[in-house]
Amino acid sequence: MSGYLLAIGLSVVFLVLLFVLLSTRRLREKYAAIWIALALGVCVLGAFPGLVFWLTRVTGVEVPANLVFALAMTVLLAVCLQLSGEISNLEEETRTIAEEHALLEARVRELEQAAPVRSVPSAPSAPAVASAPCVPPAPSVPDGHPAPSAEV
């Protein structure tokens, strides 16, 4: 019975980790859905172990562990297929963006070569500014001498 409790405990920890990743935006909802469904499925199978034995009899599998292993492999295959599809979409988007960038860059070069070079009058240069920190001038006393500094 402790193996079932371990499966339930690990699934609950996994669910908490999923929700933390979702809340910190490190995992998107569309990817989390399958993992949440998987963790809930493991919780159900851990809570009701008779369900695994029933599924084993229905499917004709000899050993329940073989059924769980086959189901795990099927889920991992589905995840790999889904991620492969996402990678294919991202590659297509990247290629399209690179082509658009190249076309825009060629258009800019074409416009630069076609336009006559015009001299833009330069603005009068600004006086050089010292890089010293901005410190207000020391107040002076009525006799024209600066007041003693209060700094220590």
What is the per-residue pLDDT across 2-61, written as a single tens digit (0 to 9) for each?
788 898 899 999 999 999 999 999 988 888 888 898 889 888 988 998 999 999 999 999
pLDDT in tens, 83-93: 999 999 999 99
pTM for this structure? 0.59
Instruction: Say what the pLDDT of residue 130 is.
Output: 54
The pLDDT mean for the chain works out to 83
Query: Nearest CA to 19 among 11, 43, 9, 73?
Result: 11
Categorize the per-residue pLDDT at 138 as very low, low, confident or very high, splitting at 50, 70 and 90: low
63 Cα distance to chain centroid:
41
Output the CA angle 21-23-28, nearest 5 degrees.
Answer: 60
Please state the three-class secondary structure of 77-135 as a single string.
Answer: HHHHHHHHHHHHHHHHHHHHHHHHHHHHHHHHHHHHHHCCCCCCCCCCCCCCCCCCCCC
pLDDT in tens, 23-37: 999 988 888 888 898
Instruction: Say what the pLDDT of residue 99 is.
Output: 97
Instruction: Measure the N-to-C terminal CA separation of the chain; round to a whole number of Å.
Output: 75
**Contact at 8 Å (CB) between 42 and 11?**
yes
Q: Does 102 score more than 80 pLDDT?
A: yes
Instruction: Say what the pLDDT of residue 123 is.
Output: 62
Distance CA 95, CA 71 (A): 36
Output the CA angle 82-86-88, nearest 5 degrees.
Answer: 115
